[in-house]
Every structure is written in structure tokens, then in C-alpha cells.
Amino acid sequence: MSKPGFTRAEPDARRLSLIAATARVLARDGASGASVRAIAVEAAVSPGLVAHHFGGVDALIAATYAHVGEQVAAALDAAVAAAGSDPQARLIAYVTASFAPSIADRNLLATWTAFWGLVIARGEIAALHDTQYARYRAELERLLAACGLQSSARRRAAISIAALVDGLWLELCLSPAILDADEARAIAQAHIAALFQSHPAPPN
């Protein structure tokens, strides 16, 4: 096997390149296959650059988890911004953005699956997981509040929506012939409508 042709790049570009390579290795080989050497070969750099930029593979995997989570969060935020000013449209946009092809993607699922396998074993990954999901639920609660959902119902509503989205997202990635994005959106919208029927806004 020939050695990779090593190239030079600016530090920020090199870090992003290593993060992208780590995501590909995780998707292809799982967490057990994400060694310094495998990532270095994927990124076409020397193994020493992993230590130089991240200190080791654990920190690189954590940085990759954070980066992937930030990309998904940015896509959801962009969907809300594009939905205009109507509170319900913004809520629906945030919830259903996860069903877009760029997120309901098998490669992304494979990367997330590798991350999830590390949540129990690695405290740093677990902390990142908690932070990312807390942000998602907090944004859901804020959007639900803007729609008038009672404050006492917002936490459980946000948890139920998050769980539903995760399940629909998995089905979209794993069984696209059975469930498509339009049907996933319809299911999510029906769930949200039921939440508001169960907890109507108090009269003005």
C-alpha cells in the first residue's frame, strides 16, 4: 500500500480537513476503526499532525462530534429564519428540517451511530451529547412558547417532539422506501397539533 501524499495547509483548514476525515472514517469503520493512522490516511496527512492539532484521537473525535452537531444546528436555525415571522411556521420549520435530504442522510446516520456508541464510554462525548440535545430542546421550548403553549406543558412537549423527530429521522435514513420526507412532516405536524389541542393557550 502506498503512503499518502502529505500536503500543507493553514491550521484552520487542516483542522477542518481532519474533522471531515474523522467523520468519514467513523461512518465507514465505526468508532473502533477511528485510529490516528486511519484518520491520517483518510486525510492524506502524517499521523503526527493529529497530535499536533488535537493532541490525540479522543480529542479529534470530540471535536468532530461538536462540529457535526453545529452543522446540523445551523441547518435547523436556517430553516427557522427562512420560515418568516409566523410562530407556528417557525416551529414546524425547525421540527421538520431534520427530514431534509442533507440531514436525513445514511452517511450522517452512520457517523451519528458511531458517536452514540461512545456516549456511554466517554465522558467528554456524553457531555457534548447532553449539551447538544439541551440546546435542541431549549429551542423547541422557545418556539412552543411563541406559539402560546402553556409553560407547564413545554418541557414534556419538547421531549416528545425530540423523540418523535429522532424516530422519524431513523426511519427516513434506514427505510426510505417505506417512509418519505413528506409523510414524516405530516406525522410531526399531526403530533404538534395534538399537543396544542391537549394544552390550549389560556384566554387573553
- pLDDT tens across 14-39, in order? 899 999 999 999 999 998 899 999 99
The C-alpha cell of 111 is what? 457517523
pLDDT confidence band for 7 (50 / 70 / 90):
very low
Q: Which residues contact 109 (CB under 8 A, 6 or more apart)?
A: 169, 170, 173, 174
What per-residue confidence (pLDDT) applies to 203? 61
Q: Taking all residues of the chain, what is their mean pLDDT, rounded to a whole number?
A: 90
pLDDT confidence band for 6 (50 / 70 / 90):
very low
The dihedrals phi and psi of 6, each to the nearest 5 degrees, come to -75, 140
Q: CA–CA separation, 95 vs 42, rounded Å?
A: 34
Q: Which residues contact 20 (CB under 8 A, 6 or more apart)?
A: 43
- pLDDT higher at 142 or 2: 142
Q: Would the pLDDT of 160 be above 50?
A: yes
CB 121 within 8 A of CB 99: no
